[in-house]
Each structure stands twice: as C-alpha cells, then as structure tokens.
Amino acid sequence: MNNLTWDDSLSVEVDEIDEDHQKLVNLFNILSHSVEQGDSADYINAVLDELITCTIWHFKHEERLMLLHKYDGLVDHRTEHNELIDSVKELQQKFSREKKQLTQEEIEYLEGWLTGHILGQDMRLGFFLMKVM
Ligand SMILES: [Fe+2]
C-alpha cells in the first residue's frame, strides 16, 4: 500500500483550499490503513462517513468561493465534484449494504481521481483565485 502524500506539487497556492486537501489526503490514508489492517466494518464505515462528509463540505467551500468571485468555470468544476461524491457513496453502499470488502485498488482509484482533480480543475481555480482574492 502506498501512502498518498500531500506536497507542494499539489498546492493550488490558496491556503484555505490546500488545508482542506490535506485533510482529505489524510482521511484517504486512514481509510487505506484501516482496510489493510482489517479493522472492523463499523470503523471502516465511520471512516467512509467522515470522508464523504468532509469531501462534500470541502466541495461546497470551493463552490462558494467560485460564486463569490464569479468564476466562469463553476459548472464544469461542480460536475466533477458530483462525480467524486457519487463514486465514494457507491463504494460505501457496496461496503455497508452488500457487505463486500473494499479493495486497495478501489481506494487507489479514488485517490487517483482526487489528485487528478486537484492537478486539473483545482489548479485552474487556484490560479484564478490568486488573482482576485
Ligand atoms: Fe475542486
């Protein structure tokens, strides 16, 4: 299992967004460790709940900043946000309802999605916000 690490290459140069991203990276690592260690289903479910809640909260945070500063890429950006939330919720349903174990591949897929989003849409947003904030 590879830990997801946050470093300057993931910085969007806006502190309040970087801080949220670091929390999400941390939660992904907690999830990955708990699956690897075979922690209880209740615990893994609690981590998933926390990850989903934190992700939704963070996306709302970014979307508020986009509205506040009249960012013209909001619609596309929000579409990507909704895709990630759907994917994580799907994973949680699979885990809690169908009682299927999460795999490291599934977690790594979502981690890859998150870093891809940070390097794409969030960098573009950060570049914009740096100029207007
Ligand atoms: Fe975003």
- Based on its alpha-carbon atoms, the radius of gyration of the chain, rounded to whole angstroms, reads 15
C-alpha 42 to ligand 1 mean position (Å):
29
pLDDT for residue 80: 96
Q: Where residue 103 sits, what CATH number does that domain have?
A: 1.20.120.50
Q: Three-state SS string across the chain, please?
A: CCCCCCCHHHCCCCHHHHHHHHHHHHHHHHHHHHHHCCCCHHHHHHHHHHHHHHHHHHHHHHHHHHHHCCCCCHHHHHHHHHHHHHHHHHHHHHHHCCCCCCCHHHHHHHHHHHHHHHHHHHHHHHHHHHHHC
Residue 2: inside a domain: no
C-alpha 16 to ligand 1 mean position (Å):
12
The per-residue pLDDT string of the chain (133 residues; one tens digit each, 9 = 90 and over) reads 668 998 999 999 999 999 999 999 999 999 999 999 999 999 999 999 999 999 999 999 999 999 999 999 999 999 999 999 999 899 899 888 888 888 999 999 999 999 999 999 999 999 999 999 9
Give the list of residues 6+ apart from residue 54 with CB closer than 8 angstroms, or none. 23, 24, 27
Residue 1: inside a domain: no
pLDDT for residue 32: 94
pLDDT for residue 82: 96
**Two tokens, residue 94:** 């699979």
pLDDT for residue 3: 85
C-alpha 123 to ligand 1 mean position (Å):
9
C-alpha 92 to ligand 1 mean position (Å):
21
Domain span at residue 74 reads 10-132
Establish how many alpha carbons lie within 13 A of residue 40's alpha carbon, considering only the half-sphere containing its beta carbon: 3
Total structural domains within the chain: 1
C-alpha 99 to ligand 1 mean position (Å):
30
Give the pTM. Answer: 0.93
C-alpha 88 to ligand 1 mean position (Å):
15
